[in-house]
Amino acid sequence: MAEEEEGEAGGHHVLLLPGPMQGNVNSMMKLAPSSSASLPHHLSHHRFHPPPPPPFRRHPLSFTNLPQPRDQDHLRCLPDDHPRSDRNALADLYSSMNSHAKPLIRDIILSQTAAKPKITCLIGDGFFGGLTADVADEVGIPVIHFRAISASCFWALFCAPNLFESNELPIRGEEDMDRIIATLPGMENILRCRDLPGFFRGTETNLVDPLKSTVFDCHQTLRARGVILNTFEDLDGPLLTQMRLKFLRVFAVGSLHAHLNYRRVSDAKTTPSTSSFWEEDRSCLTWLDSQPLKSVLYVSFGSITTVTRERLMEFWYGLVNSKKRFLWVIRPDMVAGADNDERVAAELEEGTKERGFIVGWAPQEEVLAHKAIGGFLTHSGWNSTLESLVAGVPMICWPCFADQQINSRFVSEVWKLGLDMKDLCDRDVVEKMVNDLMVHRREEFLKSAQAMATLADKSVSPGGSSYSSLHDLVEFIKSASR
């Protein structure tokens, strides 16, 4: 099949458009090599384009050379004086993208039409579902939405209006947090109010603004030709069944990074690629090499979450008091309101030397796959959750916002892969949970984590559900973008 024989102006040409957040870029950019490389005979004439030049730069990170938080900020499209706390950064990024990005994306698509091959399909981040559906309509190409959040979060947001109608929402204050949500299709009686995605927190009778826009964007996916989810049948089967009743096509292709791992094993010459906004400090891998098998707890709160200095200290005391080894990622912009991040990290590092190692940014996938890692204290971002699950590493979850609250509930109560520390931040709790995960309930959690890792691996192997779904996606793109 020659390029010229396909599509109007020759060949299929897909524009991938992730939102400018680390987690979204990480997962979405893995869609391109996964599709084109794991199914080479189906995709040899597809062109996947990177997103428009991102508004951020890479910076070297080490404790002796810390960039100023504003300077390395990947949210640089926000004004300099923006407070950038995790919640309002996302909400404001959302409205900034919606007001400025539309003409830019339209120009990218239209400016390519003179060249061969022209862009014939848009895979847009569902975070901007309305925006990408509008652009695709305007330029007359099909759009498929990619959701970088978990399937459970996407589905809960989609169903939010029904929950308000049936009076299960809104949450009526702190005392209402342990009430069970009964009517969410596919996850009936699994979630408490406190496990609903962070957007639901708030007591107003109307949908609060960030929730309103995220729910709006989930419903915009009804305008798309399909939705791509970074999950797999054995993980989220009941939810996927419900979603297929609503959406035209649901492609459960995850875990995307596992497709690439699978290829790396079968093709030793392939080198791992990274889409990190920050430079990875690989010295932690050397440190891990010298640690005993499954003895180290990896601690990371992802790319956006901020913590107060007080909370950071609770974690630090909890970790040190647990007497377990740990590798901790403290991003330079992670401590909210700290005027000297270098000093915070250095102080902690000084008191940590005996059993701990601190870095500004780690090669996380490689860390989780390291034989010395025995557990992960995570903020439960969806990428981190999948990366841990694929590596067979049990988790302690400390969720903060967005899909993290619901992910941690699934980790602890549905998949039984670890413990949920939601809404607590106390050194004694940290110490106890670390010991439960790494000592007292170690065998139980390692066993279930290993069983889930096997299922994840099976799904991306030839004939597996995600392998087949990726194949279906490619075939669909070919047929829809002629």
Q: Given the structure tokens 């339209």, which residue do they identify?
A: 106
Minimal CB distance residue for ligand UDP:
381
Cβ at position 165, least distance to ligand UDP in Å: 31
Q: Which is nearer to ligand UDP, 277 or 476 (CB)?
A: 277
- How many Å apart are CA 282 and CA 276, to the nearest integer? 13
Cβ at position 294, least distance to ligand UDP in Å: 20
b (16+ CB within 10 A) / e for 66-105: bbebeebbbbbbbeeebebebbebbbbbbebbeeebbeeb
Q: Given the structure tokens 């590596």, which residue do they identify?
A: 391
Cβ at position 180, least distance to ligand UDP in Å: 27
Q: Which is nearer to ligand UDP, 136 or 151 (CB)?
A: 151
Which DSSP string do the residues of 118-185 spell out, in sequence order?
Answer: PP-EEEEEGGGHHHHHHHHHHHT--EEEEE-S-HHHHHHHHTHHHHHHTT--S--SGGGTTPBP---T
Residues that bind ligand UDP (CB under 6 A): 21-23, 26, 276, 300, 302-305, 329, 361-362, 364-365, 381-384, 387
Tokens at 436, concatenated: 């439960």
Q: Which is nearer to ligand UDP, 181 or 319 (CB)?
A: 319
Q: Are 231 and 252 in contact (CB under 8 A)?
A: yes
Q: Which is nearer to ligand UDP, 94 or 361 (CB)?
A: 361
- How many Å apart are CA 416 and CA 405, to the nearest integer? 15
Cβ at position 375, least distance to ligand UDP in Å: 16
Q: Which is nearer to ligand UDP, 242 or 261 (CB)?
A: 261
Q: How are beta strands 143-147 and 250-252 bridged, if at all?
A: unpaired
Q: Which is nearer to ligand UDP, 152 or 300 (CB)?
A: 300
Q: Which is nearer to ligand UDP, 146 or 382 (CB)?
A: 382
Q: Which is nearer to ligand UDP, 142 or 302 (CB)?
A: 302
Q: Are 328 and 299 in contact (CB under 8 A)?
A: yes
Cβ at position 359, least distance to ligand UDP in Å: 7
What residues contact residue 216 under an 8 Å CB cut-off, 6+ apart?
129, 130
Cβ at position 331, least distance to ligand UDP in Å: 7
- How many Å apart are CA 215 and CA 467, to the nearest integer? 30
Q: How are beta strands 121-125 and 395-397 bridged, if at all?
A: unpaired
Cβ at position 256, least distance to ligand UDP in Å: 10
Q: Given the structure tokens 């987690």, which residue do they identify?
A: 23
3-state secondary structure of 282: coil
Cβ at position 302, least distance to ligand UDP in Å: 3
